Structure 1
Amino acid sequence: MTKLPLDALSALYASAAASRLYDEAITELQHALQCAELATAAGESDALVAAALLHDVGHLLLDDQVGLDEVLVDDYEHEKAGARYLAPWFGPEVTGPVALHVAAKRYLCAVEPSYFATLSPSSVRTLAVQGGAMTADEVDVFERHPGSRGAVLVRRWDDMAKVRGRIVPGFDHYVDVLRSVAIR
């Protein structure tokens, strides 16, 4: 096994990119920590807690955030970049939900008509460049994917993890969780 890059992950989540606004209210770091806390509070597995924590690591790697006052024209596929980055250290129970959390948003828009109305303005904006709601064929493919359940959970936590001022444990709180699900 390649050594788990805890120092590299900690550095990414302490970087300037992690301090930028994720959406209208909170930073990338705050968003990640809130997602992980929601997964923990739901009693989910360490793998899903890790996926919730790391689901947007691709944004930090790509440093792809576009200001809310700027026009968003491209999807840099942060979910794929993040899953690829994590793959040497984590199995599909972590990387699957990371890779599919954007698809899960598109899926939920297709299968739950009221879901779109719950999206933050930032999520609505990104949905447009991510392909919009899935087609019926895409829904079928998504539902058959073994990581779809975890991706939908991560997506729901993603939507709820945008609360300014919410107090949650820091990144170091999750180091043992990350170690516990790392590929041995």
Structure 2
Amino acid sequence: MSIREQTITVLESLRGVWDELAVDELDHALQSAARALDDGADDELVLAAALHDIGHSPLLAAHSEAHDRVAHDWLTPRFGVRVGWLAGAHVAAKRYLAATDPAYAGALSDVSIVSLRLQGGAAVDQDLAGHPWWPDALRLRRFDDAAKDPAARGADIETVVAVAERVAAAQTTRRA
């Protein structure tokens, strides 16, 4: 299956999957991508923003691992270490922001508060916080949090697929 087909399949598998109350996971993914594009993010960060919650997909959720780990493991071989790392760090970024920014913690949705508790609560992971990609993980987390509005526009699937194809092609070139 091509990268195009894999990306479309995993995105479409998010339709009708509800983690938040306001939007399904497909709308959440497309809104996350749109927020990243609006912020001028590079292709790898846009793709990580779009696909950070694929661990909730019924195609992948059978794994016993946490959804951020599932996303990391699915994304890395297809799109490279940075995309996988960024998606895999989005829960740690939430935990970090909740621990270090009282305004952030106070603005979490009810669903996010419950999931934060299940994810170990507010905490700072010094290993991740010192990583060179950490600032982009925090950006991704902000895109994630802003992507829960039923009235907000999202990117279209074709835009995300085009980004995925560019990132995959760049990975192939780096390996060659």
Cross-structure match for 2:138: 152
Aligned residues: 168
Cross-structure match for 1:10: 8
Pick one of 74, 78, 87 that aligns with 2:67: 78
Q: Distance in 2 between matches of 1:49 and 1:30?
A: 15
Per-residue displacement from partner, 1:73-109 (whole Å, max 9, x unpaired)?
xx94101111101111111221111010000000001
User: Is the contact between residue 79 and residue 100 of structure 1 (CA under 8 Å) also seen in structure 2?
Assistant: yes
Higher helix proportion (structure 1 or 2): 2
Q: Distance in 2 between matches of 1:87 and 1:142?
A: 17
Q: Percent same amino acid at aligned positions?
A: 36
Q: In structure 2, what residue type is equivalent to 1:173?
A: T
Q: How does 1:23-172 map to 2 (within 5 A)?
A: 23-60=20-57, 61-62=60-61, 76-135=65-124, 138=125, 140-172=126-158
User: Is the contact between residue 106 and residue 132 of structure 1 (CA under 8 Å) also seen in structure 2?
Assistant: yes
Q: Distance in 1 between matches of 2:48 and 2:5?
A: 18
Q: Distance in 1 between matches of 2:141 and 2:62?
A: 21
Per-residue displacement from partner, 1:144-179 (whole Å, max 9, x unpaired)?
123311211111111110001323232122222111
Q: Distance in 1 between matches of 2:3 and 2:162?
A: 13
- More displaced stretch, 107-116 vs 168-177: 168-177
Q: Distance in 2 between matches of 1:141 and 1:166?
A: 34
Q: Distance in 2 between matches of 1:120 and 1:166?
A: 16
Cross-structure match for 1:69: none
Q: In structure 2, what residue type is equivalent to 1:81?
A: V
Q: In structure 2, what residue type is equivalent to 1:155?
A: R
User: Is the contact between residue 55 and residue 79 of structure 1 (CA under 8 Å) also seen in structure 2?
Assistant: yes
- What secondary structure sits across from 1:132 in the alignment? coil
Cα distance, 1:118 vs structure 2: 1.0
User: Is the contact between residue 29 and residue 53 of structure 2 (CA under 8 Å) also seen in structure 1?
Assistant: yes
Q: TM-score, normalised by structure 1?
A: 0.84
Q: Over aligned residue pairs, what C-alpha RMSD do you find? A: 1.8
- What secondary structure sits across from 1:115 in the alignment? helix
User: Is the contact between residue 107 and residue 142 of structure 1 (CA under 8 Å) also seen in structure 2?
Assistant: no
Q: In structure 1, what residue type is equivalent to 2:22?
A: A
- More displaced stretch, 43-52 vs 144-153: 144-153
Q: Distance in 1 between matches of 2:84 and 2:2?
A: 14
Per-residue displacement from partner, 1:24-53 (whole Å, max 9, x unpaired)?
100000000000000000011011101100
Q: In structure 1, what residue type is equivalent to 2:166?
A: S
